[in-house]
Amino acid sequence: MKARSRVSAVGLLTAAAAAAAGCAAPPAQQGRAEPGAGATDFAVIEGTETAGVPATGSLPVPTSSFMGVDEIPAAVLAARERFPEELPDGVVWSDENFATDSLPRDAMIEEGVHDVAVSEYWLCAWMGEFINAEDTGDRQRTADAVTELEKYPTLPAIIAHHQSPEVVVASVIQPAKLGDSSTLREFSQTCTSYQRANPR
C-alpha cells in the first residue's frame, strides 16, 4: 500500500512555487539570488510502505497543515484576495494551475505554498514592469517599479518562508536600481507563467 506524498511550501518554493510564479532558477552563480533561494522552513516528505513497515511510522510528524492538490486552486484565489500589494497597471494574474500541474493527484501540499506562489508572481510582475519601463526610457516608472520590488522581503509569505530574501534585494534589485539590470533581466526570464499571462 502506498502512502500519500506530502510536498511542503519550501520544497515547492524552490521548484513549484517558483514555477507557480513562472519562475525557475537560472543557472546558479555564486552570490546571486535564484527564485525561491533561501526558503528552508519545510522539507519534502514522501512516504511509502516498505517491508511491512507503514511509511507514516518512519516520517516525522509534520508541524504544519497539509492540503490536497484539489484544494490548491481555491487556496491560490484566497491568497490573491488577501495579498497586501497590487500588481502593476494592466498586469493580470495567471489562470494556470501552477502549483499542482506536475504533482500526483494524491499529493499533499503544505499550506503556505499558495501564498509564496502569489508573492513570487508579484515579484515577476514588478520585474516585468521595471524592464518595460527601462526599455522605453521611462525613468519615473522604472523608479516606481524599484520601489515596489524593494517591498519583496516584507511580504508576509516571504517573511514566513524565505530564509534570506535580502539576497534577492542585494543581488537582483539593487544592481538594477543602480543601473545594471542584467541580473534582473536574467532572473525575469524564468517567469514563464507571468509571461504567458502578460505577453509584451
**Cα(156)–Cα(165) distance, integer angstroms:** 12
Element at 131 (helix H, strand E): helix 113-135
77 with 121: CB under 8 angstroms?
A: no
Q: Check residue 160 and give its pLDDT.
A: 92
**Residue-level pLDDT at 177:** 97
- Strands (E) across the chain are located at 6-7, 66-68, 108-110
Contact in structure between 3 and 55 (CB atoms under 8 Å): yes
Residue 144: Cβ within 10 Å count:
16
| Residue 198 amino acid letter | N
Amino acid 98: pLDDT: 55
Question: How many CA atoms does the CB half-sphere of 45 hold within 13 Å?
Answer: 23
CA distance 164 to 188: 19
Query: In this structure, are residues 23 and 35 in contact, taking their beta carbons and an 8 Å threshold?
Result: yes
- Global pTM? 0.71
Supply 59's cell numbers: 516520517
Tens of pLDDT, residue by residue, the chain (200 residues): 444 444 444 343 333 334 434 444 333 343 445 544 443 333 333 333 333 333 443 333 445 688 888 888 888 899 999 999 999 999 999 887 655 556 787 888 888 888 998 999 999 999 999 999 999 999 999 999 999 999 999 999 999 988 899 999 999 999 999 999 999 999 999 998 899 999 98
- The residue written with cell numbers 517567469 in the block is 191
Q: In the chain, where are the structural domains located? A: 6-197
